[in-house]
Chain A
Amino acid sequence: MNIEVRQPQLGAKARVGIFDCDIHPKSSLEDLRPYLSNRWWDYLQTYGQRQRHGYVKGFPYPKSQPLASRRDSWPPGGGLPASDLDFMRQQHLDFYGIEWGVMNPLSPTGQGEQNDELSAAMAFAANEYQLEGWNRRDPRLKASVVIPYENSEMSCAEIRKRAGDRRFAHVLFLSRTSELLGKRRYWPIFEAAVEAGLPIGVHVFGSSGRPMSSTGWPSFYIEEITEHSASLQASVASLIVEGVFERFPELKIVLIEAGFAWIPALGWRLDQNWKRMKDEVPHLKRAPSEYLREHFWVSTQPMEEAEDPDHVIDVMEWIGWDKILFASDYPHWDFDDPFLALPPSLSEERRNKIYSGNAKALYRFD
């Protein structure tokens, strides 16, 4: 009686099928077991995982809602949010008419694990489970190539295993890497992704082993979620300035869940300094903002909410109408409703690009 059965057609404007670039299916360690060797299963039972966080078991900050999930996303039949495909279909995929979704599993995936070999084994298992547990049952759900990104050799091996498999949409990093993302230790991963024809998705969070701000640990969750854009700014600047895109002109980076209003300001600041200090970085052949506009895509959620909606549209204009991808973040608490998230004044053409056209062009799902 207390569940509102809403009608999908409530969204007034006619819509194309939606491409949702950020869905978080939940698996348990037990789900991964068939894809882990006995050695690693026993290891996990005996020693457990060691994230690159000191003194923290679980989340470093209490979340806004339990498990950072919408309170209405706990499946009626039991289990964790987004662990039950049938309920995910009913509440999200079918309800909103999601044509394709990209799964970005966050845990357990072994990312940020101190033991490189365990990290690689869990990444492999997480990838197998995305295929068997989700994509095989609902091919709308595309997988991410989860990689143990702190070890480039093992990451490349995983990417090469998945190369050519069209069930995978992109290679998944979390944003808090142990070094800035443009550093050379990560370049082999970029090379392997380009060879495989896969974009790199960088989803916020992760365990870098360092405080999440450059000046220590913030006190509150509100700071943690706001800080994602700051840490990504540093890595975006690093990718550009280190010359990654001169070396890999085909490389495409998708920034997921970091907001996007900070991007023009970063471009302005980089360009301003580059004009004065070009000789410090002679490997850059173009203004930093040109790399920023050419090589980066952004996902919408959490959609910026400015007092004046036109300010958001100005920012989108700067980033480029071809570079913005719709994302819901289902089932997390800061979920964006596909029917309500975008500024209402957007033209039908721009709306369709963000809902679907841009992602189809980027991920080449036809």
Chain B
Amino acid sequence: MAKHVVAAVGDIPPGTRRLAQVNGRAIVVFNLGGEFFALNNRCPHRGGSLCQGRQTGLVESDGPGNYRYSRPGEIIRCPWHGWEFDIRTGQSWCDPTRVRARPYTVSVQPGTRLVAGPYVAETVPVSVENDYVVVEA
């Protein structure tokens, strides 16, 4: 699996996401409070573009009238049929045993290392002064 530089860290501030094209694949990269995660942009249910969905939290209930809302912003909701996926793992909350949005390994690398290679910087100019988001795909 090749490593691809998809953005400078500053291009994806915490709470935002960004779509990257890696080897012809659309991958959406999320910044959750400084941690980066990446999912295949194509919803595994019926193909909606996850990047255009809404980031929401986890709603749990153990009975009518009792609700807990946790992990705000860590769940992506498909813009079409509303299937929800855990941004950290890709796990589906609709059908957790059978369906998962494909996750990719993401890391942050300093420009000093990237300039030396063996990274593929497709469209992102790399300089030694910055840190970069790197997706393995």
Contact of A71 (CB < 8 Å), options: B19, B41, B52 = B52
List, in ascending order, chain B residues with CB within 8 A of A3's CB: 19, 49, 51-52
- Using known A-B contacts A2-B52, A71-B79, A72-B52, determine if residue A337 contacts B46 with beta carbons closer than 8 Å: yes
Judged by a CB distance under 8 angstroms, whether B4 is at the interface is no
B110 at the interface (CB under 8 A from A): no
* Complex contact A4–B49 (CB within 8 A): yes
Q: Report which residue of A1, A71, A334, A336 has the largest number of chain B beta carbons within 10 angstroms of its beta carbon.
A: A71
Contact pick for A340, options B26, B47, B82, CB 8 Å: B47
B61-95 Cβ-contact flags toward A at 8 Å (1 or 0): 00000000000000000011110000000000000
Q: A3-B52, A71-B52, A71-B53 are in contact. Are A337 and B47 (CB under 8 A)?
A: yes
Residue B54 at the chain A interface, CB threshold 8 Å: yes
B24–chain A nearest beta-carbon distance, Å: 9
Q: Is A70 an interface residue (CB 8 A)?
A: yes
Instruction: Tell me whether A72 and B49 are in contact (CB under 8 A).
Output: yes
Closest-CB distance, A5 to chain B (whole angstroms): 9
**Given the known A-B contacts A4-B41, A71-B54, are A339 and B79 also in contact in the complex, defined by CB atoms under 8 Å?**
no
CA distance A115 to B47 in the complex (A): 43
Q: A335 at interface (Cβ–Cβ under 8 A)?
A: yes
Quick one: given A4-B19, A4-B51, are A341 and B82 in contact (CB under 8 Å)? no
Number of A residues whose C-beta is below 8 Å from B?
18
Interface flags, A52-83, vs B, CB<8A=1, else 0: 00000000000011000011100000000000
B56 to chain A, nearest CB (A): 12
Determine which of B47, B49, B80 lies in contact with A333 in the assembled complex, contact meaning CB atoms within 8 Å: B80
Closest Cβ of chain B to A341, distance in Å, is 7
A87 to B18: give the CA distance in the assembly, Å.
22
User: Interface of chain A, helix or strand or loop or mixed?
Assistant: loop
User: Residue on A with the closest CB to B19?
Assistant: A2
Q: Are A336 and B46 in contact (CB under 8 A)?
A: yes
Q: Is B100 an interface residue, CB under 8 A from the partner?
A: no
Q: Which residues of A contact B52 (CB under 8 A)?
A: 2-4, 71-72
Within 8 A of B (CB), among A173-230: none
Chain A contacts of B57 at CB under 8 A? none
B90-127: CB near A (< 8 Å → 1, else 0) gives: 00000000000000000000000000000000000000
Most buried by B among A3, A70, A334, A335: A70
A72 partner residues in chain B, CB cutoff 8 A: 48-49, 52, 79-80
Residues from chain A with a CB closer than 8 A to the CB of B26 are 4, 6
Within residues 28 to 58 of chain B, which ones have a CB less than 8 A from any CB in chain A? 41, 46-49, 51-54
Closest to B24 in A: A7
- Given A65-B79, A335-B80, do A1 and B46 touch, yes or no (CB 8 Å)? no
Verify A333–B82 contact, CB threshold 8 A. Answer: yes
B120 to chain A, nearest CB (A): 19
Residues in B neighbouring A339, C-beta threshold 8 A: 47
Residues of B within 8 A of A337 (CB): 46-48, 80
Contact between chains at B79 and A1 (CB < 8 Å): no
Q: Is the CB of B46 within 8 A of A70?
A: no
Nearest CB of A to B124, in Å: 12
Neighbouring A residues of B46 by C-beta, 8 Å: 336-337, 340-341
Write out the residue numbers on chain B whose beta carbons fall within 8 Å of the beta carbon of A70: 48, 79-80
The interface residues of chain A lying within 8 Å CB-to-CB of B41 are: 4
Residue pair B17, A65 in contact (C-beta under 8 Å): no
Inside 8 A of B54's CB, which chain A residues have their CB? 71
Please measure, in the bound complex, the distance between the C-alpha atom of A4 and the C-alpha atom of B52, giving whole angstroms: 9
CB distance from A133 to the nearest CB of B (A): 26
A300 CB to closest chain B CB (Å) equals 13
User: Which residue of chain B has its CB nearest to the CB of A73?
Assistant: B79
- How far is B19's CA from A3's CA once the two chains are assembled, in angstroms? 8
List 4 extra interface pairs beyond A4-B41, A335-B81, CB under 8 A.
Answer: A1-B19, A3-B52, A71-B52, A334-B80
Q: Can you name 21 A-B pairs with beta carbons within 8 Å?
A: A2-B17, A2-B18, A2-B51, A2-B52, A3-B49, A4-B19, A4-B26, A4-B51, A6-B26, A65-B79, A70-B48, A71-B54, A71-B79, A71-B80, A333-B79, A333-B82, A335-B81, A337-B46, A337-B48, A340-B46, A340-B47
List A residues at the B interface (Cβ < 8 Å). 1-4, 6, 64-65, 70-72, 333-337, 339-341
Those 6 A-B pairs whose CB atoms lie nearest each other, nearest first = A71-B79, A72-B52, A72-B79, A4-B26, A4-B49, A340-B47
